[in-house]
Amino acid sequence: MKKVIIGAAWPYVNGDLHPGHIAGYNLPADIFTRYQRLIGNEVMLVSGADCYGTPITLQADKEGTTPEQIVQKYAPRTKELLCDIYKTSYDIFTQTHTKIHNLIVQIFFLNLLKNGYITRKFTRQYYSERDNRFYPDRYVEGECMYCHAKDQRADQCESCGRTLIPGELVNPKAKLTGSEVALKETEHYFFSLSSFKERLKNYLYSKKDIWREWVWKETEKWINELEDRSLTRDLDWGVEIPVEYMDEKDIVDHVENKRLYVWFDAVIGYFSASFVLKFGDKFDSINDLMPVFNEFVSKYWDSDDIDLVHYLFVGQDNLFFHTIWWPALLMGQEINLKLPDNVVVNYFLNLEGQKFSKSRGIYINARELVNTYGLDAVRYYLIRINPENSSTHWYWDDFKDRINNELVATLGNFVHRTLVFYAKYLGNSISLENVQVDYEVKSIINSLFVDFYGNDGFDGLIGKARFKDALDKLMDLARFGNLFFDRCAPWKSVKEDTKSCANAIYNCLHLILAISLLISIFLPDAGSKLAKIFYVDFLYERYSNRLFQMYDDDYLDTLIRENLLTIPSDLAPLFNKIDKIIKV
């Protein structure tokens, strides 16, 4: 049994998520997790709300409230959407704005400091004497020194389109208070990312055959351009610098006005959330935490433990922070921490050729989408168009076509016609002396289970996060099943040749049983309906992690012989056809 820690990206909670977020990291992480559970591994799927950083403080300003209240407003909504509506099987969905997360982030910072990976540098930032504080660029407005447009943000001029750096505004003022601001030197802590170049290269080269090719290449590019990055900001919202555990000589001026930046704290969430799952969150201080901290590391984050597997699922905007930054932070702890085995990065999902943008109306309400079309239909389409190796687009017409032609006409139809026929015309029973598994049926089922662990086997595809291809293996069984059903024409033989009719349905049931064993990782609602019909949980238990052995010729016979396979004659179809698109 492996111990598998799976991290899905931590969404900022400054608004509602759209289907691009689901397709980007949430759904892939969930499929992988459900599969790991199915094969009997000890699994932790961890994530939470990313509460710090300027997206949160800006939203608070926009709504005239505090960052704390933005978190309280949006974090539960995000959690409900992901956990209840999309049935993401998180073991924990927490947030970064918790005592325990703050303590663990501080431990990471102190270790980097102790190990010599933190330097101090002065940077120039806008400061208001009157307000007695520094302002991030986005909080400062003034006249563009190039085109002289008024009221431009300090990081970009909307009028001439130039990216601006501090110092390129005439008469800069603080947006919130109108106070004059001027550039002032401020000292910050920097992480010596460049000193990890060789170690990061070795790490990357060890993942050549595992990571997606484009992710690997993009990471290689980053490694050649590593620069030290600041770990702190002049802000009052974020994790505090643990001065009480630091030497006087290491403390910068005005440290009380600085916070560890969101880049640093958010990725540590994978560690802190998995810690909470095992040891809870009842700790008051770093000293309180340290004894179990080491115990936790040795059980779940020790890189010499061959039973440990760590996977991360993120969107393309997060690539650097998960393939470079996070591994370097882990290395910098110098306690032999486990690095991610795979960082599964997706491109963006767009909407009919444009980027999702709620303010410009290019948007799908993720919640209404499931309410209108059902979870399985939404998940099916998002897997089909998953941006694994390039950006993809949600097209409403394509959604309708794929649901109607593939999910309903292929998978749903095959299952429904077989089960209803078995109930209605065979009275939920088959005489087993007269039937046998057809050669072709046997071989297509074997093609799923025999080379299960091969590179292109089901397990191999899941391991490489090739979820579309893995789902196709199940759809192949349904496609074949429909052809087989048509060829055998049981609706004719039921009158003329009852043995051949029973044999046809018996073989179709074998195909559906095989599909039932794996479909729940993709389509949980259909999966649980089929699991009930075929008592699949019993099989999982009997074969535990030996999934490839789970497909068992005798099992279906047992169900039929014991009269356990009873289908209600008014069985509802697994999926519903979409008659008309309602854009939500």
Question: What does the binding site for Zn ion look like in residue numbers (CB under 5 A)?
Answer: 144, 146-147, 149, 157, 159-160
Cβ proximity to Zn ion, 153 vs 367, nearer residue: 153
Q: What angle do CA 200, 202, 205 make, to 5 degrees?
A: 105
Classify the C-alpha dihedral 311-315-319-321 as positive or negative. Answer: negative
Half-sphere exposure of 299 (CA within 13 A, CB side): 11
DSSP state of 548: G
Q: Shortest gap between Cβ of 167 and Zn ion (angstroms)?
A: 14
Q: Shortest gap between Cβ of 187 and Zn ion (angstroms)?
A: 31
Q: Shortest gap between Cβ of 124 and Zn ion (angstroms)?
A: 20
Cβ-in-10-Å burial (0-12, 13-18, 19+) of 396 comes to middle
Could you tell me which of 1, 31, 33, 45 has the C-alpha nearest to residue 546? 1
Cβ proximity to Zn ion, 1 vs 170, nearer residue: 170
Cβ proximity to Zn ion, 67 vs 172, nearer residue: 172
Cβ proximity to Zn ion, 146 vs 279, nearer residue: 146
In this structure, the strands spanning 308-315 and 342-346 are parallel
Other CB atoms within 10 A of residue 284 CB: 10
Cβ proximity to Zn ion, 157 vs 378, nearer residue: 157
**Cβ atoms 31, 68 nearer than 8 A:** no
Cβ proximity to Zn ion, 149 vs 182, nearer residue: 149
Question: Look-up: residue for tokens 């006249």?
Answer: 143
Question: Letter for the amino acid at 146?
Answer: Y
Could you tell me which of 492, 431, 534, 463 has the C-alpha nearest to residue 41? 463
**Cβ atoms 485, 505 nearer than 8 A:** no
The neighbouring-strand residues paired with 180 are 173
Q: Phi-psi category of 92—alpha, beta or left, where left has phi over 0 and alpha has psi -120 to 50?
A: beta
Q: Shortest gap between Cβ of 126 and Zn ion (angstroms)?
A: 17
Half-sphere exposure of 562 (CA within 13 A, CB side): 9
Q: Shortest gap between Cβ of 164 and Zn ion (angstroms)?
A: 8
Cβ proximity to Zn ion, 159 vs 389, nearer residue: 159
Q: Can you tell me the distance from the alpha carbon of 27 to that of 524, in angstroms, rounded to the nearest whole number?
A: 12
Cβ proximity to Zn ion, 144 vs 328, nearer residue: 144
List, edge to edge, every strand of the sheet that includes 229-230: 133-135, 118-128, 182-191, 229-230
Cβ proximity to Zn ion, 55 vs 166, nearer residue: 166
In degrees to the nearest 10, what's the CA dihedral of 336, 338, 341, 342?
A: -110
Q: Shortest gap between Cβ of 169 and Zn ion (angstroms)?
A: 10
What is the Cα 136 distance to its own chain's centre?
30
Q: Can you tell me the distance from the alpha carbon of 478 to that of 491, in angstroms, rounded to the nearest whole number?
A: 19
Helices 467-488 and 413-424: angle between axes, nearest 10 degrees: 40
Cβ proximity to Zn ion, 140 vs 513, nearer residue: 140
Q: Shortest gap between Cβ of 128 and Zn ion (angstroms)?
A: 23
